[in-house]
Chain A
Amino acid sequence: MYAYSEFDRAFVRDRVSQYRDQVKRRLNGSLTEDEFKPLRLMNGVYLQLHAYMLRVAIPYGSLTPMQMRQLADVADRWDKGYGHFTTRQNIQFNWPRLIDTPEILEALADVDMHAIQTSGNTIRNVTTDQFAGAALDEVADPRPYAELIRQWSTDHPEFQFLPRKFKIAITGGSDDRAVIRAHDIGLQLIEVQGRIAFKVFVGGGLGRTPIIGQQLHSELAAEDLLPYLEAVLSVYNVAGRRDNKYKARIKITVSEMGIDVFREKVEAAFERLRPAFTGQDLSVLGEIHADFESPSFLEKSQDVYFNALDSDTQFRTWVERNVNPHKHPSYASVTISLKGHGNTPGDASASQMRVMADLAERFGHEELRVSHEQNIVVPHVAQADLPEIYRQLGKHGLATANIGLVSDIIACPGMDYCALATARSIPIAQDIALRYERRESEIGDLKIKISGCINACGHHHVGHIGILGLDKAGVENYQITIGGSAGNDATIGRKMGRGFSVEELMPALDRLIDRYLALRVDPSEAFVSTVQRLGTTPFQEALYAIDKAA
């Protein structure tokens, strides 16, 4: 785990004390809301429908047990006893009072956390694979590079006022678990003749104009990473459109310019910028690497584990769904589902956070991760400890065995919290999870993603089934897309047709899923594979069968 330097600490403390003063001046009336708003946003404080919201950065989704406990304490002391983990691998607190936000930021700084650059037109929190440093399919650990990018981009003088926000994702596995092609820049670690390199994708993004990122570089030498990123950013900083907020993301720059012209400009900028990087970045990278060394794995007898697999079917089901293979043969990565049927996806109570912190401390080499699918991962656990972990999770409502199933839904906050929403998304996720609770293991892998407006924070475009909530003449209306995918075969789902009211939505999903069950070759053919094999027409027909009949 990367340890803060004294410089980082002083920087964060300094920001907190500036912010404390700004809040004071807001409350005594010497700052107007117009003056104050950009300042609070720079510190992660939003105003939502019912309250302020504080978004806390969790760099590349990594947390220590101590940090998780501090988040639990913040939830108890200053919020309503829970936190919301998001697809940006962050945590949001939905109910802080403005006057308490400096105290909260101070408490976060105590455990080396902050809310800087969680908003604004800057380079945001770099996201990565939740199994980084653990996964069996990993070429190299992406976190040192994510950290290098974080250090380079935090308060980078040229990139504080980009045309629009900028998101970078990085994956180290052959299986892309970080949705890199839906980001402004996506990086995939590869190995070329024994050396580490990157495949670079650019111009991906969801929002109102969903675009899958295009390949910009097929094998960028690892040592050229920062000069190359700087080159991409500097081309974008000049060419990106500042006249129209909806055309300001790099995806528009790239598609208007064409990938080839964009690449030429980047190459030219790279030639110009590279000499300025005299190797200091590489020595920093060397130091960072040391912070991310693998824990010393323990050799434990696996008998208890194999016995439990044989004797306990519930445990076995949980292992099948929630446990991932690890690069160490007697280890595994555990995904703790924050998707209990009927709960708000991504919410964890303060006591649940403490349980997860305890488990990571006892069994997980002090590491926790937030996945972009809004679950918590304990990346390194000995298989021998899995039965006990499962038992403990079960006592606290955290043992739901549903990873990758219908109820493992990504849902944005939607109109239950978000001021920009056009409809709700969380209650739709709750309804779906409860409705399919019994049938979901029969249905198998199926990713449903829901957004409450066109900004697409819920990634609905890349859901196998995507649901977008809109306002149709004063009534909530839900548009369905199908065939989207977030992995290596990243695809934007196809819009099916007219939207559905809340009442129509569940029966429509029933028709869709029943059609899939009737059409699949066998249970091993997942929903999205059936859609890929047959196209969307049969599903569209199923969705709108009612219209025909009427």
Chain B
Amino acid sequence: MAAIKLPVVITANDLLSGEAVYWHLSGVWSTDLTGSKVFESLEQAQASLQRVVSDAEVIGAYLAEVLEESNGLVSRHYREGFRARGPSNYCHGKQESLRQKVAV
């Protein structure tokens, strides 16, 4: 595998729903990429990953590359982008809930 490019966040799938989730600054898992704890150091990221990888509420935690852009955090790779936003064929899944959140 190619070397991981920094910065990274920790992501996994939620045990109950299967949804893509992110390890947040506040120390909880959330479906929203925004608010994730961003690691600039690989050592720190891996140490944190070791601590959360066996969390009972998630499956398969790993590091995902992100970019910090002026309008917020975005995924570097398109696969992660789809995980963060939901399916692109039409608006359902995560986009729908994210949109509702923005609307309220």
Contact = CB atoms under 8 A, between A and B. Distances in A.
A220 interface: no
B20 interface: yes
Given A415-B82, A416-B82, A47 B87 contact: no
Interface stretch (A91-99, A103-111, A267-275, A536-544): A91-99
A50 interface: yes
Interface stretch (B22-30, B37-45, B89-97): B89-97
Interface residues of B, number: 24
Contacts of A47: 13, 18, 59-60
Given A50-B83, A476-B78, A416 B19 contact: no
A424 B16 CA distance: 26
B77 interface: yes
A430 B90 CA distance: 10
B6 to A, nearest CB: 16
B95 to A, nearest CB: 10
Contacts of A475: 78
Contact of B17 (A33, A51, A80): A51
B55 to A, nearest CB: 11
Contacts of B100: none
Contacts of B86: 50
A26 B94 CA distance: 25
A114 to B, nearest CB: 21
A48 B18 contact: yes
A416 B20 CA distance: 13
B56 A415 contact: no
Interface-central residue, A52, A344, A426, by most chain B CB under 10 Å: A52
Interface-central residue, B15, B16, B86, by most chain A CB under 10 Å: B15
A93 to B, nearest CB: 12
Nearest to B56: A29
Given A98-B16, A344-B89, A427-B89, A49 B59 contact: no
B33 to A, nearest CB: 13
* Contact size range, A: 20 to 34
Given A33-B59, A415-B82, A417-B87, A49 B15 contact: no
Contacts of A192: none
A511 B87 CA distance: 29
Contacts of A99: 16
A98 B15 contact: yes
Contacts of A426: 87, 89
Interface-central residue, B13, B18, B59, B60, by most chain A CB under 10 Å: B18
Nearest to A53: B18
Contact of B19 (A27, A51, A474): A51
B66 to A, nearest CB: 14
Nearest to B83: A49
Contact of B18 (A98, A424, A430): A98
Nearest to B85: A50
Nearest to B82: A415
A48 B59 CA distance: 12
**7 closest pairs, A vs B, by CB?**
A416-B87, A51-B18, A52-B18, A426-B89, A344-B89, A33-B59, A416-B89
Interface of B: 13, 15-20, 56, 59-60, 76-79, 82-83, 86-90, 92-94
Interface of A: 26-27, 29, 33, 47-52, 80, 95, 97-99, 344, 415-417, 421, 424, 426-427, 430, 471, 474-476
16 contacts: A27-B15, A33-B60, A47-B60, A50-B86, A50-B93, A52-B18, A80-B92, A80-B93, A95-B93, A97-B17, A97-B18, A416-B87, A424-B89, A426-B87, A471-B79, A474-B76
Given A47-B60, A50-B19, 13 more contacts: A29-B56, A33-B59, A47-B13, A49-B82, A51-B17, A97-B18, A98-B15, A344-B90, A417-B87, A421-B79, A424-B82, A475-B78, A476-B78
